Amino acid sequence: MIQMTLIQIDNYGPWTVTPKPRNESDLQILQAELFADVQKQFSTKKGLVFFTRFDNMLAITNGINEEDHLRIQRSIKNRYPITISMGVGAAETPHEAQRLATLALQNEGGAQSSDRKEILAIDSLADGKDNYVQVAHIDINSVTETLTDVESAFDTSFMVNKAQHYLMTKLIKKGALLFFIGGDNFMSPCNGLSEKEIEEILIEIDDEIGIGLKAGIGRGRNAEDAAYMADIGLENIRAGNNVDWTEVIEKGC
Amino acid sequence: MIQMTLIQIDNYGPWTVTPKPRNESDLQILQAELFADVQKQFSTKKGLVFFTRFDNMLAITNGINEEDHLRIQRSIKNRYPITISMGVGAAETPHEAQRLATLALQNEGGAQSSDRKEILAIDSLADGKDNYVQVAHIDINSVTETLTDVESAFDTSFMVNKAQHYLMTKLIKKGALLFFIGGDNFMSPCNGLSEKEIEEILIEIDDEIGIGLKAGIGRGRNAEDAAYMADIGLENIRAGNNVDWTEVIEKGC
Amino acid sequence: MIQMTLIQIDNYGPWTVTPKPRNESDLQILQAELFADVQKQFSTKKGLVFFTRFDNMLAITNGINEEDHLRIQRSIKNRYPITISMGVGAAETPHEAQRLATLALQNEGGAQSSDRKEILAIDSLADGKDNYVQVAHIDINSVTETLTDVESAFDTSFMVNKAQHYLMTKLIKKGALLFFIGGDNFMSPCNGLSEKEIEEILIEIDDEIGIGLKAGIGRGRNAEDAAYMADIGLENIRAGNNVDWTEVIEKGC
Amino acid sequence: MIQMTLIQIDNYGPWTVTPKPRNESDLQILQAELFADVQKQFSTKKGLVFFTRFDNMLAITNGINEEDHLRIQRSIKNRYPITISMGVGAAETPHEAQRLATLALQNEGGAQSSDRKEILAIDSLADGKDNYVQVAHIDINSVTETLTDVESAFDTSFMVNKAQHYLMTKLIKKGALLFFIGGDNFMSPCNGLSEKEIEEILIEIDDEIGIGLKAGIGRGRNAEDAAYMADIGLENIRAGNNVDWTEVIEKGC
């Protein structure tokens, strides 16, 4: 089972404009530092956080228990002008896990409720031996040569966003998730998806919008191990020049 | 004229996997902290940085000169394991400005060239009185009630990404740019676009995918002032409950 | 037993002036962020780091094992322009623990050796049930009323430094350590010292330089618990207006 | 004239223990990150901040005006759970400048007053051509060989603190200040002191406690330039092996 945590800033929208709109640069710094901070804390326990919408972040948190979550919440309260609430859920698919996590938190009150503050709502935690994470690390073939070094920075960013949109659209139907992790890289928590299914999605996208993608798949007991194995898979493809779709999926572990 | 800066990590891709893939969480922290850091530095001079792809960031930098840019590069070199190069361009439209900035940098060598390091390539800078920035701050109508509090976190994030993709697709054709800035918020540097044109894009998107958007537009001599006026515009709409498309565009200054 | 870790930036001095002196402000930022960062990482395992000399930091690390240390070293390498080496020692007194930690690291090469890099030198680790930390949280009586609000900022800082110097001088002879932790606060890892001995030191200092001090003492299996109990002790004294030396020492646990 | 700013966290002491003592590690992180943050912001205008007591920081701020100070205050409010007040003073000596800065702020209310919040109290600012900063960068001769690599980490730190205490004691009488800046390094804002006077202090300390020190002196229109010239001076001495006291003072500019 994969365990996912939703991290939500409490009542953030109203705060950003009270008493008048706060400097956009300050908000951008706050959001990025908060993400870096929770990432740092979850990662010491081998979790992995995705910035998602920044005010709502999703994390793979297998192996991380209730006390660990409470500790992170307290630490944020002590160092930021805002507080965070969290929901946690474990399920067979990543989509279901984050849905349970979201539901648990929504049941405690709305994101902009001034009553709800620093809630930790646990629907379910993955048990020791049930911990299982599968992620695919996906990137764009030869992005430097075909985009970064020849197109304008925004046009490249547009193509990366286009790839993201198509990946999200297709993966969500399979119970998988997809997060942009910088550059031309995406990470998809995808427990339950076969290599064949992922390969088919990549081929479809190449056919539909002409963006060639490759994926390394990794599996482990926690996010860190799974992500590392996915990286190794991707490196193996890169070493082999990723010319052949049958090689596109490299099994990490 | 709007002045834009492309900030690019030198030879980053190879570094992330040398000698073997670095921990994904460390890379996420590095990227977010680097963004927060350059944001902090550009913002003291009233610039505004967008995280874009993290390894490639775009910034509105009117009023920020060559020495300021060099200083930021040096500061990053002194505190990070990587260095950054920058390209700067000024033009009538944001798209052209970032294109010139990108070209200037590309002419100095590729993003993954090990020879190119800490380059500052200036195509052009906006002159004192030519400085002019127009941005639109766009968000989704009632996102908390219709998405955050009722849909799963990932489904909401998917809808936000969908809105982004449609906005990017339409704005890029008009010479404007579009950046996700967290939550359900987007910022579009859009010198030269009329309120009518922006309104039409928002209406089209509502028609096509059923996502209602609103926009505050702000103008100023620098990014900070323009963004603030756009925020004020958006607040005015929020106060009026944004029911009517004719009210969607509020003129910031 | 108390376990202590010495964290030392590798070959830092030469780096700060190569090829020419780096901006002092950049070095100050680097040092403070590095301290905050290792603090954040050690604290998720209930350790506590003291900034000490910034390029050499000492930490109480009971309960933190070899893998945890390696992980922190790797994380720093991935995000900073410098690397860190560490030595670890466990002993009955804090002074002996940090001495063993230092020796272990010194045996691997000098602080400015370009050969020595990212060493983890473990002399000894405290065993599960042997883990025992005693710390005293010491502050200056009525510092706001007698110093901060009436003396110049530097004169107050001079008095605080004077208190520190006298505390260090006396505690080091007892095998205890003393760190400045901001404001008018000091923390003394002091396994083996009796309340009476600490009280005597405080009385001596009041006699010699006229600075009244009070101390809360805490004990626990790790630095976090011990420090918390010491805080509770100090709060109890504050609540009682700390008029009487016999009340100066409040037993935390 | 040298311009100095006192940066004081508003009502910090009570906050750290309300409703109960906050985690010491969180406070340490908060303090270090706040210092790094204001350093980053002041340094973009060539100022230099000393951590001093962390809850009270002193900065050399020649060339930094009222708006710049207000901007930094606002930025901190937007990203931290605490706010800061500031006092600013300019005078012929650093000690007098910080005294005026402190007085201006004290006049607005106490450091632990819950009424006083985000005050900017300006006694005086240095005028354009009056800006003049002299600093001495002082370090311990051969600290790596005689201390770091042979003594225990705490014993070395004790010696560094001892040097600091003696330096502070002597410099304060001359209207100069002294801050520890990490490693074995100190920086002394010392407008008005001659090279001879500084040399005499260093010789006295060597005589009294056997700690050999050397100093590079730098002068400039702002803190950054002066500190850089002091570094250059110190490097020149290091290159010459600092054997002779007559060489101890190297004139930076």
Q: Do A36 and B40 touch (CB under 8 A)?
A: no
Contacts of C75 in chain A (CB under 8 A): 43
Hey, is D5 helix, strand or coil? strand
pLDDT score for D251: 47
Q: Do D40 and B37 touch (CB under 8 A)?
A: yes
Contacts of C80 in chain B (CB under 8 A): 79-81
ipTM of the complex, rounded to two decimals: 0.95
**How many CB atoms sit inside 10 A of residue D20's CB?**
9
Contacts of A29 in chain D (CB under 8 A): 79
Quickly state the pLDDT bin for C250 (edges 50, 70, 90). very low
When pLDDT is averaged across residues A157-178 and rounded to a whole number, the result is 98
Rounded CA-CA distance B56/C1 in Å is 50
3-state helix, strand, coil in chain D (%, to 5): 45, 20, 35
User: Is the predicted pLDDT of residue C42 greater than 80, yes or no?
Assistant: yes
User: Is the predicted pLDDT of residue C249 greater than 70, yes or no?
Assistant: no
Q: Do A40 and C41 touch (CB under 8 A)?
A: yes
Rounded CA-CA distance C76/C5 in Å is 16
Q: Do A41 and C40 touch (CB under 8 A)?
A: yes
Given a contact as 3+ CB pairs under 8 Å, which chains touch A? B, C, D
Q: Do C75 and B27 touch (CB under 8 A)?
A: no
Q: Strand A133-140 vs strand D133-140: parallel, antiparallel, or unpaired?
A: unpaired
Which strand ranges, in their side-by-side order, compose the sheet holding C185-189?
A: C179-180, C185-189, C133-140, C213-220, C249-251
Q: Do A40 and C37 touch (CB under 8 A)?
A: yes
End-to-end CA distance of chain C: 17
User: Is the predicted pLDDT of residue B251 greater than 80, yes or no?
Assistant: no
pTM for this one? 0.95
Contacts of A71 in chain C (CB under 8 A): 44
Rounded CA-CA distance C12/C120 in Å is 17
User: Is the predicted pLDDT of residue A252 greater than 80, yes or no?
Assistant: no
Rounded CA-CA distance A228/A94 in Å is 18
Contacts of A37 in chain C (CB under 8 A): 40
Rounded CA-CA distance A31/C243 in Å is 46
- Please answer whether residues D87 and D103 qualify as being in contact, where contact means their C-beta atoms are separated by less than 8 angstroms: yes
Q: Do C25 and D36 touch (CB under 8 A)?
A: no
Given a contact as 3+ CB pairs under 8 Å, which chains touch D? A, B, C
Q: Do C21 and D58 touch (CB under 8 A)?
A: no
Which residues are CB-neighbours of D8 under 8 A, at least 6 positions away? C153, D55, D56, D57, D84, D85, D86, D87, D105, D111
- Please answer whether residues D186 and D135 qualify as being in contact, where contact means their C-beta atoms are separated by less than 8 angstroms: no
Quickly state the pLDDT bin for B179 (edges 50, 70, 90). very high
User: Is the predicted pLDDT of residue B22 greater than 60, yes or no?
Assistant: yes
Which residue from C111, C112, C182 is facing D31, i.e. has the nearest CB?
C182
User: Is the predicted pLDDT of residue C246 greater than 60, yes or no?
Assistant: no
pLDDT digits (tens, 9 = 90+) for A90-99: 999 999 999 9
User: Is the predicted pLDDT of residue C28 greater than 50, yes or no?
Assistant: yes
Contacts of B71 in chain D (CB under 8 A): 44
CA angle B60, B66, B68 (to 5 degrees): 75
Q: Do C17 and D231 touch (CB under 8 A)?
A: yes
User: Is the predicted pLDDT of residue C245 greater than 60, yes or no?
Assistant: no
Q: Which two tokens stand for residue B31?
A: 């990227």
pLDDT score for B253: 40
The single-letter code of the amino acid at C241 is N
When pLDDT is averaged across residues B145-159 and rounded to a whole number, the result is 95
Testing the interface with C: which of B79, B80, B117, B118 to mutate, by most C Cβ within 10 A? B79
pLDDT digits (tens, 9 = 90+) for A195-227: 999 999 999 999 999 999 999 999 999 999 999
Q: Do B32 and A33 touch (CB under 8 A)?
A: yes
Rounded CA-CA distance D45/D61 in Å is 8
**How many CB atoms sit inside 10 A of residue D191's CB?**
23
Least confident of A139-143, B30-34, B47-51: A139-143
DSSP codes, D146-167: IIITTS-HHHHHHHHHHHHHHH
Q: D42 — phi, psi (to 5°)?
A: -65, -35
Q: Do D36 and C33 touch (CB under 8 A)?
A: yes
pLDDT score for C225: 96
User: Is the predicted pLDDT of residue C188 greater than 60, yes or no?
Assistant: yes
Q: Do A40 and C45 touch (CB under 8 A)?
A: no
Q: Do D111 and C182 touch (CB under 8 A)?
A: no
- Give D71→chain B minimum CA distance, Å: 8
pLDDT digits (tens, 9 = 90+) for D54-66: 999 999 999 999 9
Rounded CA-CA distance D171/D189 in Å is 10
Identify the helix (H) or strand (E) that includes residue C234.
helix C223-239
When pLDDT is averaged across residues B114-140 and rounded to a whole number, the result is 96
Quickly state the pLDDT bin for B239 (edges 50, 70, 90). confident
C246, with CB counted inside 10 A (0-12, 13-18, 19+), is exposed
When pLDDT is averaged across residues B128-132 and rounded to a whole number, the result is 93
Quickly state the pLDDT bin for A238 (edges 50, 70, 90). confident
pLDDT score for C200: 96
B19, with CB counted inside 10 A (0-12, 13-18, 19+), is exposed
Summary mean pLDDT of chain A: 93
Long-range contacts of B197-204 (CB under 8 A, 24+ apart): B198/B136, B198/B249, B199/B245, B199/B248, B199/B249, B201/B167, B201/B170, B201/B171, B201/B174, B202/B138, B202/B245, B202/B248, B203/B245, B204/B170
**How many CB atoms sit inside 10 A of residue C128's CB?**
9
Q: Do C30 and B79 touch (CB under 8 A)?
A: yes
Which stretches in chain D have pLDDT values below 70? 241-253
How many percent of chain A have pLDDT more than 70?
94
A124, with CB counted inside 10 A (0-12, 13-18, 19+), is middle
Given a contact as 3+ CB pairs under 8 Å, which chains touch B? A, C, D
Which residues are CB-neighbours of D150 under 8 A, at least 6 positions away? C106
When pLDDT is averaged across residues C121-146 and rounded to a whole number, the result is 95
CA angle C183, C203, C185 (to 5 degrees): 10
Please state whether the peptide bond connecting residue C189 to the residue before it is cis, i.e. omega within 30 degrees of 0. no
Which strand ranges, in their side-by-side order, compose the sheet holding D249-251?
A: D179-180, D185-189, D133-140, D213-220, D249-251
Contacts of D158 in chain C (CB under 8 A): 168-169, 172
Rounded CA-CA distance A31/B32 in Å is 9
Q: Which two tokens stand for residue C172?
A: 């080091």
Rounded CA-CA distance A251/A177 in Å is 19
Q: Do C6 and D153 touch (CB under 8 A)?
A: yes
Q: Do C41 and A45 touch (CB under 8 A)?
A: no
**How many CB atoms sit inside 10 A of residue C28's CB?**
23
- Give D51→chain A minimum CA distance, Å: 18
Rounded CA-CA distance D85/D77 in Å is 10
Hey, is A87 helix, strand or coil? strand
Q: Which residue in this structure is represented by tokens 């000894």?
A: C124
Which residue from C26, C75, C78 is facing B79, i.e. has the nearest CB?
C26
Least confident of A10-14, C80-84, D175-179, D241-245: D241-245
Which residue from C22, C74, C75 is facing B78, i.e. has the nearest CB?
C22
Number of Cβ pairs < 8 A linking chain A and chain C: 14
* Chain A positions touching chain D (beta carbons under 8 Å): 22-23, 26-27, 29-30, 33, 74-75, 77-81
Q: Do B27 and A164 touch (CB under 8 A)?
A: no
Contacts of A172 in chain B (CB under 8 A): 154-155, 158
Nearest CA in chain C to B37: C29
Rounded CA-CA distance A221/A231 in Å is 16
- Give A81→chain D minimum CA distance, Å: 4
Nearest CA in chain A to B52: A157
- Give A52→chain C minimum CA distance, Å: 22
pLDDT score for A239: 80
The single-letter code of the amino acid at A82 is I
Which strand ranges, in their side-by-side order, compose the sheet holding C84-91?
A: C48-50, C56-60, C2-9, C84-91, C120-122
Q: A137 — phi, psi (to 5°)?
A: -100, 115
- Give D192→chain A minimum CA distance, Å: 39
Identify the helix (H) or strand (E) that includes residue B37.
helix B24-43
- Give A209→chain C minimum CA distance, Å: 35
* Chain D positions touching chain A (beta carbons under 8 Å): 22-23, 26-27, 29-30, 33, 74-75, 77-81
Quickly state the pLDDT bin for C238 (edges 50, 70, 90). confident
When pLDDT is averaged across residues C49-67 and rounded to a whole number, the result is 98
D92 vs A251: which has the higher pLDDT: D92
Q: Do C56 and D21 touch (CB under 8 A)?
A: no
Contacts of B41 in chain D (CB under 8 A): 40, 44
Summary mean pLDDT of chain B: 93
Quickly state the pLDDT bin for B242 (edges 50, 70, 90). very low
pLDDT score for D238: 83
